[in-house]
Every structure is written in C-alpha cells, then in structure tokens.
Structure 1
C-alpha cells in the first residue's frame, strides 16, 4: 500500500505542482492508498490537502496517518462549498474490487467535477467502473488520468469504459500477477511486426492478394477494399469481382490487375449481397490459401477453413454466426470473439469502437490501437479488410495481420481527425508507415543498398 501511495503522490505532484488537493476515499484499500498518498503530499508544505471519506469511515491505519500530519477531514457540505477552489481530486473511492456504478451519495460530486473541469486522478480505476468490464455506467467519476498497478485492466483498454479513464499510467510496485489473456497493441509492436520490404524484395515476395468483393448493389465495397490493400502496400492485387466494378477500380487505382492467377491470400465478402454469394465463395475456398472473410461471406462458412484464415465480423455478424443476439455480443465481446475463434479454429477480428483479435491457438485476445470515433462509418470495414488481406498475403499469421491492420487504420484515422471518408483515411496509411519505419529504425525507406541496410538483412 505504501509503494502504491508513493506512486499516486508522485503523479499528483506532476499534475498540480501547487494548489489544494481533495482526496476522496471509500472504506477499502483503495481509500487507504489515497490516505497514505495524502500524508506524503502534505509533508512538503507546498499544497493544502483535504480528505473526504464518502462512507463516513475509511481505512483505519490510513486515517491515523493522515490525522498525524494535520490533514483536515471534510463532510459533504464542506466539500460542496470548497469544491470550486480545488486544484485536483484524487479518487480512492472504490478500486478494482468495486462493482459497476458509483455510490449514490457521490453522483452530485462527479457531476460537479465535470462541470467545473477539475482534474481527477483515479487510483486503479475511476470509481463507477468495474475492472474487468468494458461498460461505462451513467454515473462515473471520470478521470483525467488513471494510475494502475502491475498491468492494465479491461476497463482501461476497452470502450466505452476507457473513455472515463483518461491517460492511463501503469506503475510497478512489485506485484506478481498471473499472466493475462489480454494484450494491448502498442505503436512499437506495429513497428516491429510490420513486414518491411528489403532491398531484395519484389512484388511477388511482398505478396499477391486476390480480391473478390462488391456487387451491383454495393459497388463501393469493391473500390474501398482494394483501396485498403493498395495503400497498405500489397505487392500485387488480382481483382476477380464483377467486370463493371473492375472498370471502377481501374479508373481510380490503375496498378490493380484484373483476372485470376496465383495468389498468396484471398479477400472475400465485402459488399457481396446475398445473390450469388455462395457460388462466388466455393471456388475460392477450394484454393486452400488463407482467406480474409468479411460481411456476406460470413454466412457461408464451412466447418473447416483454410489454415491461417481470418474472420472479420462486427457485433451483429458475430451474433448471427453464434446464433445469439447482438446485445449478448456487446455485453461480452472478449468472450464471444474467443468463442467464435474456438468454434472455427481460426482468428477472429471483432470490429467496433474497440477492436478485439481472438487467437484460439494461444488462448489470447489482443486489443488493437484505438482510433477516433470518426471511423464509425460505412466503408471503414471494407478498407480494414483490404489491409488485412495485404498482410495475410505477405505471409503474416492471421493474429498479427489482424492486430496490425486494425491498429494501422486507427493510426491513419488519427492523422485525419474529422469526417474524412474511409478511402481518404486509407491514403494516410503510407504516412503512418513512414513514421513507423523510423520508429523501428528500418534502414530501407527508399530501397538504397547502404552498408547499414545490408547489415540489417
């Protein structure tokens, strides 16, 4: 507890070098962390620290420690009167053992902190959230920053709960935790895993992707899926969809090849509509190469898929696959994505505000880097499927391909923060890759055969 309190106090000092701090505590250990942090903060004499025990009682040893250094304890009325003058609130009300929902007597306080724009530092998790739940209830003490210990929890990573956490800092206090089945993608992961070309790479070794997408009803899906593949660096694309759509694609993306031939992976399903979908899917399944299976093609899954394939449903499509309701998927996205991955023995990318990649072989779910909410628009999934196809064709295993694709699209969207259409977001992917290449210290950005680039091979 003392080590945790030291970390809390240190972060609070960085957030507000001076001014009055209000530490709001519940009766449990989370409140104890807050009380010992309060003691540490008051000792340097640069700030006034006050405590509000919201339940009337608090961690006994923590209370003694705070009173020994003269910290003032407030009641509800005093808090309401003094709140406009508070520089920082430290939230130690519930913690990781708490249930979803804020105590009723604190609802007004959370609302006033929001109205007055008072910075809030949450200990472990913002009060009102539950550690392993992605939901955000109506009443939560939303944090500006959250400090947690040893490892992030689901609520820190998954929307909408993550929107209440602010910036999350993970502090090491020497805790030994069981290995988590959750992994959060980081920029360095993307930089290290991306299939960077070498000076000896040609279009075939970068990967040939077959794409059969779109229909008369949804011609844009074909254009968008191919756009995602082109701008993420596919070595070569063979488009085998309807002829009219091929003309649309070539007008915009003349590097695309039309017609069948050898491919390393297929992308199917985007914008097919139901008419003729099963007939289009059959021959591609028989090819035996890895598939990205999206949208309408998800309705025709065989019991056994080609090795290395990837399913890319949104919540409604995953519900249909599992024979359950959409709310059931939305209540437990991690569990349902993993259930589908186990059932079809293949990787599942569940699309949404948080994108989950379920890997049945390592019994792990990865969360992609989060992007802005502007990507919640028709066509974003088609572009994402194209990026996935590029990476499967390059020879990456499906879990990595899915995590990289979703993360890179999110990073591209962050460079276009606004209502940009999905194809414009896709055009920002090369800029993202240049930045990532620098981050990964990739020596071959222009293909030069320098001594350093040769040594790196």
Structure 2
C-alpha cells in the first residue's frame, strides 16, 4: 500500500530523526537519492548540462548537495540562485567546492537553453500559493526551452497537503520525494504536475505516525479484500444486489449498471425499474421485478440512480430505498433527488458517488472549486452528509464520515474512462461488492481500482460496455 503523510507529520518525523544523526546527515541522504535519480534520467552524467533552480530553504539545499554530487561525476552544473543571500550555506559551499557555477535569474537564459536537465529546488513542502513573479518567469523560461524538470520533494507552486495549485506551478517530468509521499503528490491537480514519482528512503519510517492521511491500494491490498465464495456458498449467501436504475429515456443506464454488478462478486443481481426487458435481453441471469424496491425481494445492498430520471416515481423509489436497513449506494440522478435529512437519519451505511459537477451541487459550490480542491471536497461531502463519499474524476477519492480513516486515492484511473456510461458500470460494480459483504470504504476503493484497470485493459477507444466486459480480466489480474 502506498501511504502519504501531511506536512506537519513529516516535519515532526524529520526533527526526531535529525536529533539522532550528525548535523547535515539527513540532507545528504536526500541529496544522494536525488542525484542518483537525476543521473538515471540523463543519458550520461559526464559532460551533461544540469541547471538547478535554487530557493532559500532546505529544498534548495537538497538541490545544491545533489548538484555537487553530479558535478563531481563530471556534469556541468549551474545553480540559479533566486535569493543568493539566503541560499543554504552548507549546500552552497559544497556545490562551489565541487566546481559548480552560480548565477542569478536574470542571467540564467543561456544555461537553461543549453540544459539537458533542470532540477526544481525553488520551494519545499511548506510552500503555499503559486510561485512568486521572479520564480514564475524562470519556470516559464524552462518550459519554453522544453527541458525536462526533476522536482525536489514536490513541484514548486503546489500545496503538499491538499494537492491544490493556486497559481503558477512547475510541471515536472519526475518528482523525487523524501521519506514519505505527501498527499499533494497523489491528488490532482498537483499530481498532474508531479510526473513520475520516486520515493527516497531517508529513514523516516519509524518516526511517522501510525495513521497516514492518504493511502492508495495496490494489487495485493485489493486481492486481500475481494470476496471469494466458500464451499458452502450459494447465490444468496454470496449476496444479492438490488439495482434501481434506468428509465424510458435512459434504458442503457440500467443495462450498464447490471453489467457492472454481475462482475462484482455478489451471488445475484435483482433489477427494479422500467428497463427490465432490455436488461433481461442482454443479461438473462438477472432477477427482475416491477414492484416497489421494498417489495422486490431480499437484497443485501441497493444501488439507485443511474439513468433514473425525475418525477414522483423516481423520488418515491429513492425514499423507499433509503428506508431500507441495508447499505445503499446513491449515484447520478439519485443525487439530484436526494434529501440530506433522509440520508442522515439512516442507520445503515450510505455511499454517495458523485462526479465533480454533482459534488458541487451537493455542496453549494462550483465545479471549478471542487476540481481545484478535490481532497477538501470529498472530506466535506462525507462529513456533511454522514456518508462514505467517493468523488469520481481524474483522481478518484474515498472518504469516511468521521474522518478517522485515511482518505483513499485510486491509483488506476485513466482518462479513457471519460466516456458516457462508465459511471453506471462503476455503481453496479461497487454495489455488488457491498452486497458481497465489503464495508462501504473497501467496496468503493476496490470497485474504483478494478474499474480503472478495466479501463486500461479495454479496447481503444473503449465504450462503457467494453469497460464492463474487461472487468473479469481486471479481477483475474488482481486476484
């Protein structure tokens, strides 16, 4: 499992470790890892031209110590000092002793234009807001030159804790981070600035808190959570998921949600709605009903919303489902019809799965606000409604209502899933995992993980049906 820790947790761990080490040892550990990563990105170190963008803090010191190592290996290294009188003294001395050259931002044009690699050491994990004008101008010059950038700990200009980018920020080809991942490296929009991530172990592990702020499941984590039938299992013991979806206008939403549910580990899928003929024609194994959800038969979880439409019928169906004593997933049109008070009254778990636009409507915000602050938005959704919230998008996030659990970020997402109907497949898949007995947080995270893998495995360009059809292969790859 990949874990991420907040800025204060990392700083506290660094202080504890530095108290046990000789002065400067921790920075030299970080610099050694940074220099090795830079050397790996260069075709050759000897004769390579490297430019360091050096700010005033320890981040700049890491860059200078790494630059000294590269210079001793034969690279021509130039440090652009944005604040010469505040550059890290030990790092600057080591850099100059190794033969490194220094210059100011105004004279950096030639060095940047000839560089094979640029190292971004402008701002560290304590930075907030966008870059200052002099740094922004320098970064723009690097972008215009088309030189690949390696960020030190995180790209300058992004928020390490929230993943927000409030202004100009570096776009790195790779980010070398030290000791622990920071939340901003795993959450868009900041994650989109980070490029390939490399974690350098500097010994922080024993000093970090037991509970991270974020976690990202990997194959073994998902495999350990997925439901597996036993010798005594039958279709009812494995769980039955009920789906209330589709309408005369959107019958395909029902078909796609059922497709996702059939590949989610439950023993049976029970469909309630006006698209029964379309569903059975495509998936004859589905159990169908034209009764109200509460009269349709036993289920262990409900999914309601995809393609549901509006009006008294869908609203009544949602009220009926929310009065049940089993886990309920609400998506799509169900989110528009949602009564927050009815959700808060529920004793059984509720899972909301909005995209950014739907989340904005629920929170009374703008879509742009949600997309700019995805971590903040998913936490607020979970807390305000007392639910587990899955916020879909470029990085899908899962948060629990009391905030006691780390937010989960899905690492398998792909832009290929940005096509009509894939959200319906995801809802059915997660609902089936709920019915099979997974807790809402686990069902949401595992469903998003498998869904992302299926999006990568499906033919190019994929339709929602292709994604659903690829779910068995995704499941096999994980399990």
Q: How far is 1:325 from its partner?
A: 4.4
Displacement of 1:265: 1.0
Tell me the residue number matched to 2:273: 241
Q: CA deviation at 1:319?
A: 3.4
Distance, in Å, in 2 between the alignment partners of 1:418 and 1:115 is: 32
How far apart, in 1, do the equivalents of 2:255 and 2:264 lie?
Answer: 14
- Write the distance in 2 (CA, Å) between the matches of 1:198 and 1:14: 48
Deviations 1:272-317 (A, max 9, x none): 1221122212333333111111123233341322423211122333
Q: After superposition, what is the alpha-carbon deviation per residue over 1:78-132, rounded to whole angstroms, capped at 9, x for unaligned?
A: 5322334322211111111222322323445434444544222111111121212
The equivalent of 1:406 in structure 2 is: 448
User: Which residue of the partner structure matches residue 6 of structure 1?
Assistant: 32
* Offset from partner CA, 1:23-42 (integer Å, 9 cap, x none): 22111110011111112222
Contact map agreement 1:136 1:164 (CA 8 A) in 2: no
Match of 1:81 among 67, 88, 110: 110
Equivalent residue, structure 2, for 1:297: 334
Match of 2:430 in 1: 388
Give the 5 Å matches for 1:170-319.
170-175=199-204, 176-178=207-209, 179-198=211-230, 200-242=232-274, 245-259=275-289, 260-275=296-311, 276-298=313-335, 299-301=337-339, 302=342, 303-319=344-360
Pairing partner for 2:149 from 117, 120, 124:
120
For residue 418 of structure 1, report the CA deviation from its aligned partner. 4.3
Distance 1:431 1:393, change over 3 A: same
| Distance across 1 between alignment mates of 2:131 and 2:430 | 40
Aligned to 2:76: 48
Please report how far the alpha carbon of residue 411 of structure 1 lies from its aligned counterpart in structure 2 after TM superposition: 1.4
CA contact (8 A) 2:179 2:203 kept: yes
| TM alignment of 1:323-402, pairs within 5 A | 323-361=364-402, 362-402=404-444
- For 1:420-435, what aligned pairs fall within 5 Å after superposition? 420-435=462-477
Q: What secondary structure does 1:158 align onto?
A: coil
Measure how far apart 1:12 and its partner are: 1.5
Deviations 1:242-294 (A, max 9, x none): 1xx11111222222121232211111111112211222123333331111111
Q: Relative to structure 1, is the Cα distance of residues 192 and 218 closer, same or farther in structure 2, using a 3 angstrom cutoff?
A: same
SS of alignment partner, residue 427 of structure 1: helix
Question: Relative CO higher for 1 or 2, CA cutoff 8 Å, sep ≥ 6?
Answer: 2
- Residue 13 of structure 2 corresponds to which residue in structure 1? none
Rate the CA distance shift 1:339–1:135 in 2: closer, same or farther, 3 A: closer
When structure 1 is superposed on structure 2, of 422-431 and 372-381 the one drifting more is 372-381
TM score, norm. by length of structure 2:
0.84
Which deviations, in whole Å up to 9, do the C-alpha atoms of 1:363-422 show, x marking residues without a partner?
Answer: 432112241223223322211111111100110000000111112111111223743221
Q: 1:49 to 1:410 in 2, by over 3 A?
A: same
SS at match of 1:273: coil
SS at match of 1:159: coil
Query: What residue is the counterpart of 2:5 in the other structure?
Result: none
Identify if the C-alpha distance between structure 1 residues 135 and 268 changes in structure 2 by more than 3 Å, giving closer, same or farther: same
Give the aligned CA root-mean-square deviation in angstroms. Answer: 2.3
Structure 2: distance between partners of 1:117 and 1:430: 42
Is the CA contact (8 Å cut-off) linking 2:69 and 2:98 kept in structure 1?
A: no
Query: Deviation at 1:331?
Result: 4.4
Residue of structure 2 in register with 1:444 after alignment: none
SS at match of 1:170: strand
1:327/1:106 CA distance change after superposition, 3 Å: closer
Q: Is the Cα contact below 8 Å between 1:353 and 1:376 reproduced in 2?
A: no
Q: 1:43 to 1:360 in 2, by over 3 A?
A: same
Map of 1:134-145 to 2, 5 A cutoff? 134-136=163-165, 139-145=168-174
Question: Aligned in 2, Cα 1:44/1:199: closer, same or farther, shift over 3 Å?
Answer: farther
List gaps (5 residues or longer) in structure 2. Answer: 1-26, 290-295
| SS state at 1:205 partner | coil
